[in-house]
Amino acid sequence: MQRATRNPVYNARIPSMFHTRCARICCLLFSLLLLPLESRGDQWQSPVIQLAQKIVAATGPGAVACDLTNRSSLGNTTADEIHRQLLGELESLNVHAAPADQAAATVHVTLSENLQNYVWVAEIQMGNSQSSVVMVSLPRPQEAVAERSVGLLTVHKALLWTDDNRILDVALPAENPPHMIVLEPETVVLYELQSGRWQQQQSLTIPHSQAWPRDLRGRLVLQKDHLFDVYLPGVFCRSTPAAPLGINCRESDDPWPLAPRQFPLNAFFAPKRNFFTGVLSPGIQKQTTTSPFYTAAALPRDKYTLWLLAATDGQVHLLDGLTDQTAKLGWGSDIAGVRTGCGTGWQVLATATNADARDTVEAFEIPDREPVVVSQAVEFDGSIMALWADSDSATVLAVMQKSETGKYEAYRLSLTCGQQSDFDGDR
């Protein structure tokens, strides 16, 4: 079967255009008023108008039978809404809906999509003549999915920031007005909360002569005498103590702090890799070396601090100053300690992948040397790229790369005692 293609043309402006436009606006306003608030599709208005104009250019005014098929990822409610808007728009252009046997033309609209765009196609059949095809395309938005978190000890996740660039770490200094510092591979970006929105105040470039390693990692540490320090593989940066804010960076293999200030333990980071070498400074009592590891979590005990290190060989090392025990716990590479006051007071958050291949974070306690799960797993829509305890250990910063969009999202994870059934709205 052959299908003819007609170049789309616009109708000439007609004398009654003003009245037609008024009628069209009234029609649109009326139809919008009838819609529920959440489904008002202002975003569809422009492509609907474009498609209607293209259809009318082919059919001219009169009666048409118009149906619609949705083969895109849009929901049926949205497709119905687009259909209603399209019929309204056609009506305002003097094209009236009619049954097929009474119509001068049939218009079959298909909502489709490709890799980047929605593609709306109208196949127009005028009597026995060859059919023509008109199309419009519009970028596909990147949709978000909200998640629910339920558990005996509940892990809450609150979205802090979304970015196209990789987010390495985020810090929220205790300041008024609130500020947020975002560490990216090439910049440190400072935001201020203004009228409920984060507004970028400053972007500080991080100079570095060597290419960053893959799976780049970085740490943002808030300080008292100056705003922050930045640790990156082979590079250390310190913010200037006085205004205007700047940073001074140098090539450095200084050890990175592993945990908040109350646990003074640092470790050397391999400058061309994504892990800590295993050399500790100043050490856990007499233990100054261990296996290479990705992340660490501190769990204070009565008389010592138990350190958990997620090693590069997939095992977890438990260091108490005397012994270095290893265990295969099935945890991911990212762990962080968090102080909650629930249970024994401190928990470890650890990443994993669930049966649906989604990354998760769940909380554990280590009453002896065996971990005990103390929360339901909270799911993420992508890969967790970083998990860092914040400066007071009360919350944990998680960075995720969304599977669908590739965008990076930073979340603040906190734990509350008891089972809750709240809705953690990401958006």
Partner 1 sequence: MKLTGFLLLAASNLILTATAKAEIRPHYGGTLHVAMRAAPSSLDPAQPDWFGSRNLYPLIFDTLVTLDERGRPQPALATSWEAEAGNQRWQFHLRQGAVFQDGAALTADAVAASLRAANPSWKVVSASNGVTIERDSAAPDLPAELALPRNSMVKRDSGKILGTGPFAIMQWDPAKKLVLAASEDYWGGRPFLDSIEIEMGKSVRDQMISFDLGRTQIIELAPEQAHSALGRDRRVESSRPLELVALVFTADAQSPEESKQREILSQSIDRKLLNTVVLQEGGEPAGGLLPDWMTGYSFLFPVEMDLTRAQQERAEIARADLWNLGFDVNDPVERVIAERIVLNARDAGLRLQLATQNPVDVRLVRVSLTSPNGRVALRGLCAALGLPQPAFGGDSVDDLYAAESALVKSRRVIPLLHLRNVTAVSERVRGGREMPAGNWPWTNVWLTPEQP
- Which residues sit at the interface with partner 1, rule CB under 8 A? 1-3, 5, 7-8, 71-72, 110, 112-119, 121, 123, 133-137, 151-153, 210-216, 272-275, 294, 312-314, 330-334, 342-344, 351-355, 359-360, 365, 367, 372-377, 383-384, 406, 417-418
Residue number, 94 or 137, with CB nearest to partner 1: 137
What gap in Å lies between CA 54 and CA 328, rounded to an integer? 63
Other residues' Cβ atoms within 10 Å of the Cβ of residue 156: 16
> In sequence order, what are the beta bridge partners of 346?
339
Residue number, 31 or 333, with CB nearest to partner 1: 333
Minimum distance, C-beta of residue 351 to partner 1, in the bound complex (Å)? 5
CA 312 to chain centroid, in Å, comes to: 27
CB 398 within 8 A of CB 352: no
What gap in Å lies between CA 150 and CA 144, rounded to an integer? 20
> Which tokens belong to 334?
């990212």
Minimum distance, C-beta of residue 417 to partner 1, in the bound complex (Å)? 5
Minimum distance, C-beta of residue 197 to partner 1, in the bound complex (Å)? 27
> Which tokens belong to 211?
């290419």
- Residue 322 belongs to what H/E stretch? none
Residue number, 307 or 364, with CB nearest to partner 1: 364
Minimum distance, C-beta of residue 8 to partner 1, in the bound complex (Å)? 7
Minimum distance, C-beta of residue 115 to partner 1, in the bound complex (Å)? 5
Other residues' Cβ atoms within 10 Å of the Cβ of residue 250: 12
Residue type, 323: T
Minimum distance, C-beta of residue 190 to partner 1, in the bound complex (Å)? 24
Residue number, 121 or 394, with CB nearest to partner 1: 121
Minimum distance, C-beta of residue 264 to partner 1, in the bound complex (Å)? 25
Q: What are phi and psi of 76, to 5 degrees?
A: -65, -35
What gap in Å lies between CA 356 and CA 379, rounded to an integer? 10
Residue number, 28 or 387, with CB nearest to partner 1: 387
Residue number, 98 or 133, with CB nearest to partner 1: 133
Residue number, 43 or 210, with CB nearest to partner 1: 210
Minimum distance, C-beta of residue 328 to partner 1, in the bound complex (Å)? 9
Minimum distance, C-beta of residue 50 to partner 1, in the bound complex (Å)? 11
Phi-psi region for residue 44, left (φ > 0), alpha (ψ -120 to 50) or beta? alpha
Phi-psi region for residue 395, left (φ > 0), alpha (ψ -120 to 50) or beta? beta
Residue number, 125 or 391, with CB nearest to partner 1: 125
Minimum distance, C-beta of residue 360 to partner 1, in the bound complex (Å)? 7
What gap in Å lies between CA 218 and CA 277, rounded to an integer? 15
Residue number, 76 or 209, with CB nearest to partner 1: 209
Strand ranges for 39-114 from DSSP E = 62-70, 95-97, 105-113
Distances (CA, A) of 251 to 12, 210, 238, 248, 420: 67, 9, 12, 11, 47
Work out the burial of residue 168: count CB atoms within 10 Å of its CB; fewer than 13 is exposed, 13-18 middle, 19 or more buried: buried
Q: Which of 265, 298, 300, 297 shows the shortest CA–CA distance to 279?
A: 265
- Half-sphere exposure (CA, 13 Å, Cβ side) for 254? 15
CB 121 within 8 A of CB 109: yes
Residue number, 2 or 176, with CB nearest to partner 1: 2
Minimum distance, C-beta of residue 30 to partner 1, in the bound complex (Å)? 31
Residue number, 23 or 216, with CB nearest to partner 1: 216
